[in-house]
Amino acid sequence: MKRYEGLFILNTAGQEEGIQELIERISAEIKQAGGRVETIQKMGRHSFARVANRKVSSGFYVNFIFEAPPHAIAQLRNRFALTEEIFRVMFTVAPPAQAAA
């Protein structure tokens, strides 16, 4: 299992109450793919510097740190690409967790 960081930009235009439900669905997808969520950091709503789509000018940013098998990342990318509430997602390899002294 490798440690990953997933940055999600949620397309929740005017639906602030649905954010927590969407975060829980993302966590469930990661667990279903064989992963384990360590940390969820809500970063809030931010406007985009460059608007690629006139309908979407801002997004709610959420950062997930999780462990998963390497083959699960492609599977997760495909699943999240089909979800219209997720505007963008980016996975990177996270640095190893530092042990508490």
Enumerate the domain spans of the chain: 2-93
Q: Give the separation between CA 17 and CA 28, rounded to whole angstroms.
A: 19
> For residue 27, what pLDDT is reported?
96
Can you tell me the mean pLDDT for 76-84?
Answer: 92
Indicate the pTM of the whole model: 0.86
Q: What is the pLDDT of residues 61-77, one digit of tens each?
A: 999 999 999 999 999 99
Alpha helices in 2-71 (DSSP H): 19-32
Q: Give the separation between CA 47 and CA 91, rounded to whole angstroms.
A: 21
> For residue 99, what pLDDT is reported?
55
Task: With a cut of 90, say whether residue 32 has pLDDT above it.
Answer: yes
Task: With a cut of 50, say whether residue 100 has pLDDT above it.
Answer: no
Fold classification of 2-93 is: Alpha-Beta Plaits (3.30.70)
65, 3 contact by CB (below 8 A): yes
Beta bridge partners of 63: 7, 41
Q: Which residue has the tokens 């005017």?
A: 14
